[in-house]
């Protein structure tokens, strides 16, 4: 029998048993996919975006399908961090994999308050900051579109929590590497790339936008090449680990992100199409490593070959 490869990776101080993570907003509060498989098999789970107080989100319709993609304008509906900790977390005790809290605020102070709350909860292994949402103190401009604001949010979260901090970047910026550099300098331990791309769709029969919010975020296979490009750029720009996501549907997609240098990957929209996708990706990565006689998944990470037939030049590889 072939020896199973070591799939474990380290993301900013958080060691996970495999690089496959459930993406925020597509996996509920952590146990909604239990009827399909044991979530303990995943590398980690990132829960639905949490805010200081419960949020009702946007009016429906909140989603619209596009060719190869999904537009959503959920509006970050959630039960609030207190209800999550008190009502949801106890039932997640049986899930034996790290839970990562995805948090957002309307002001920098709210981010800091959220961070402080996560510090006291053992079950939360790390914090992922969503900076793609509007800053009410800056006319609704997203926190993640300005390097100084992105750095201030990161700084406040890092100072107020004891957990590893992952900053999730928005792709809706001119130069993502500037934002990545700013959050790295502000103390982020890892970066997730990418959140959804802004988009819209119109129903020509009614002449109305397909989303009540008019605009939404595009995810799914449609964004994969753009997400991969952004991961490539960010991996080149920073030293901290990068987690890649955007349109990952199978283990080959996952391998593309790992090869450009992502230390781990997240599965989002694919969960809504085939809930077993993350498990199929873990199995696919295992079989790939066995076939290619790769004993440790870290041998693949950043092993993009960019020069010559002999592949003598390796691309984004960094020591892992
Ligand atoms: C229905 C839906 C809800 C989402 N909610 C959140 C959220 O609460 N917080 C967050 O940071 N990202 C959220 N996202 C973004 C995803 O986590 C992910 O970054 C994005 O969809 C790209 O990955 P994918 O193409 O694999 O879905 C959401 C995406 C979808 C489709």
Q: Which residues contact 91 (CB under 8 A, 6 or more apart)?
A: 31
Ligand 1 midpoint to CA 303 (Å): 27
In a mutational test of the pocket of ligand 1, which residue from 29, 63, 219, 246 has the highest number of ligand atoms less than 8 Å from its CB?
Answer: 219
Residue 207 has a pLDDT of 98
Q: How far apart are CA 305 and CA 298, in angstroms?
A: 15
Q: Which two tokens stand for residue 24?
A: 């925020």
Q: Classify residue 212: in a domain, yes or no.
A: no
Alpha carbons 21 and 108: distance in angstroms, whole number: 27
> Is residue 320 domain-resident?
no
CA-proximal residue: ligand 1, atom 8 (nearest): 49
pLDDT score at 317: 55
Which token pair is 155? 């700084």
With residue 127 as reference, give the H or E element that holds it.
Answer: strand 124-130
**CATH number reported for the structural domain that contains residue 244 in this entry:** 3.20.20.70
Q: Please give the Cα distance from 63 to 3 (Å, whole number).
A: 44
Q: Which domain, by its residues, includes 122?
A: 9-56+76-201+219-314
Q: Is 168 in the pocket of ligand 1 (CB under 6 A)?
A: yes
Instruction: Give the per-residue pLDDT at 1.
Output: 58
CA 113 to ligand 1 center in whole angstroms: 23
Residue 88: inside a domain: yes
pLDDT at 177: 98
Which of these, 242, 204, 205, 245, lies nearest to 224 by C-alpha position?
245
Whether residue 32 is contained in a domain is answered as yes
Atom 2 in ligand 1: which residue has the minimum CA distance?
A: 25
- On whether the CB atoms of residues 45 and 197 are closer than 8 A, the answer is no
Query: Per-residue pLDDT for the chain (320 aa), expressed as one digit of tens each?
Result: 578 999 999 999 999 999 999 999 999 998 888 889 999 999 999 999 999 999 999 999 999 999 999 999 999 999 999 999 999 999 898 999 999 999 999 999 999 999 999 999 999 999 999 999 888 888 888 999 999 999 999 999 999 999 999 999 999 999 999 999 999 999 999 999 999 999 999 999 999 999 999 999 999 999 999 999 999 999 999 999 999 999 999 999 999 999 999 999 999 999 999 999 999 999 999 999 999 999 999 999 999 999 876 555 555 555 54
Secondary structure class of 311 (helix, strand, coil): coil
d(CA 246, CA 217): 12
Q: Quick check: is 207 in a domain? A: no
Q: How far is residue 66's CA from residue 9's CA, in Å, rounded to a whole number?
A: 34
1 CA → ligand 1 middle, Å: 39
Return the pLDDT at 214: 96
Residue 46 in domain: yes
245 vs 230: CA distance, rounded Å: 10
Residue 155 lies in a domain: yes
- Whether 214 maps to a domain, the answer reads no
Which is nearest to 25 in space by CA: 83, 96, 91, 101? 101
Q: Which residues are catalytic?
A: 133
Task: Give helix then strand counts, H and E, for the chain.
Answer: 8, 18
Looking at residue 28, the DSSP 8-state letter turns out to be: T
Question: 219: Cβ below 6 Å to ligand 1?
Answer: yes
Number of domain units in the chain = 1
């Amino acid at each position: 029998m072939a020896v199973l490869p070591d799939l474990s990776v380290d993301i900013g101080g958080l060691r996970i048993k495999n690089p496959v993570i459930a993406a925020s907003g597509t996996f509920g509060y952590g146990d909604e996919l239990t009827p399909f498989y044991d979530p303990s098999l995943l590398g980690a789970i990132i829960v639905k975006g949490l805010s200081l107080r419960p949020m009702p989100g946007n009016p429906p319709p909140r989603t619209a399908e596009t060719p190869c993609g999904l537009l959503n304008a959920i509006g970050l509906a959630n039960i609030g961090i207190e209800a999550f900790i008190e009502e949801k977390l106890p039932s997640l005790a049986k899930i034996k994999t790290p839970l990562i809290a995805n948090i957002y605020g309307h002001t920098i102070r709210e981010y800091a308050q959220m961070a402080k709350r996560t510090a006291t909860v053992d079950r939360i292994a790390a914090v992922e900051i969503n900076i793609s949402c509007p800053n009410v103190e800056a006319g609704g401009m997203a926190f993640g579109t300005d390097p100084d604001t992105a750095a201030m949010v990161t700084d406040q979260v890092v100072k107020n929590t004891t957990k590893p901090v992952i900053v999730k970047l928005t792709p809706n910026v001119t130069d993502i590497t500037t934002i990545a550099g700013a959050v790295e300098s502000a103390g982020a331990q890892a970066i997730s790339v990418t959140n959804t791309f802004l988009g819209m769709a119109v129903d020509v029969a009614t002449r109305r936008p397909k989303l009540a919010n008019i605009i939404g975020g595009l995810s799914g296979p449609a964004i994969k090449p753009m997400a991969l490009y952004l991961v490539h750029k960010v991996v080149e720009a920073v030293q901290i680990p990068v987690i890649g996501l955007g349109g990952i549907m199978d283990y080959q997609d996952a391998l593309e992100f790992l090869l450009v240098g992502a230390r781990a990957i997240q599965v989002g929209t694919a969960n809504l199409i085939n809930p077993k996708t993350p498990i199929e990706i873990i199995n696919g990565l295992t079989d790939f490593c066995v076939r290619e006689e790769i004993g440790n998944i870290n041998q693949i990470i950043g092993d993009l070959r960019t020069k010559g037939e002999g592949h003598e030049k390796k691309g984004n590889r960094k020591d892992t």
